[in-house]
C-alpha cells in the first residue's frame, strides 16, 4: 500500500471515529431519583418519600377512609382521617416501584422524570373503630 493510500485510510478511520459513525452510542445513564420527594394525594393529603440507592427507604402518606364501625353500642358509618409512616426497602425497577403493606395495601409509583413522580394508593383499615377501603392518586416532586 502506498504511503498516500495508508494516510487516507488512517484519516478516514479517524474521521469516522471522531464523528461517532463507527459504533452505536451508549444508552443514557439512569435518572437519579435519590432525594426527598413531597406531594399531595387527590384526597388533599400529603405524601412524602425518600429515595436512596435506587430504593424507596421511607414514606409518609395521609389518608381518609369512609367505612363502617360495629361495637357493643351498635354500628354505622365512620370516617378515619390519619397518616401512615413506613420504613421500607422497596426497589425501583426501571421507572417504577410498588409497595404492599397493612394499612397501605398498595402504593404504586412511576417516575416521569428525575424530579416528577405520580401513582396510585389503596388503603385498607380493619380495626374496631372503623373498617373500610379507599383509593386515590398522587403526584410528587423532588425537592
Place of cell 354500628: 75
Note the pLDDT tens digit of each residue in 84-142: 999 999 999 999 999 999 889 999 999 999 999 999 999 998 876 888 999 999 999 99
Q: What is the mean pLDDT of residues 3-29?
A: 41
First to last CA, the chain: 62
Domain spans of the chain?
Answer: 33-142
Name the band, by pLDDT with cuts 50, 70 and 90, for residue 71.
confident
Amino acid at each position: 500500500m502506498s504511503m498516500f493510500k495508508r494516510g487516507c485510510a488512517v484519516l478516514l478511520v479517524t474521521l469516522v471515529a471522531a464523528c461517532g459513525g463507527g459504533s452505536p452510542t451508549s444508552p443514557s445513564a439512569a435518572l437519579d431519583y435519590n432525594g426527598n420527594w413531597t406531594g399531595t394525594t387527590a384526597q388533599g393529603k400529603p405524601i412524602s418519600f425518600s429515595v436512596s440507592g435506587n430504593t424507596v427507604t421511607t414514606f409518609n402518606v395521609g389518608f381518609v377512609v369512609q367505612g363502617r364501625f360495629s361495637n357493643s353500642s351498635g354500628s354505622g358509618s365512620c370516617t378515619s382521617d390519619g397518616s401512615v409512616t413506613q420504613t421500607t426497602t422497596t426497589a425501583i425497577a426501571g421507572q417504577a416501584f410498588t409497595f404492599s403493606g397493612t394499612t397501605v395495601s398498595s402504593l404504586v409509583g412511576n417516575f416521569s422524570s428525575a424530579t416528577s413522580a405520580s401513582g396510585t394508593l389503596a388503603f385498607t383499615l380493619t380495626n374496631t373503630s372503623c373498617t373500610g377501603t379507599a383509593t386515590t392518586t398522587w403526584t410528587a416532586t423532588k425537592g
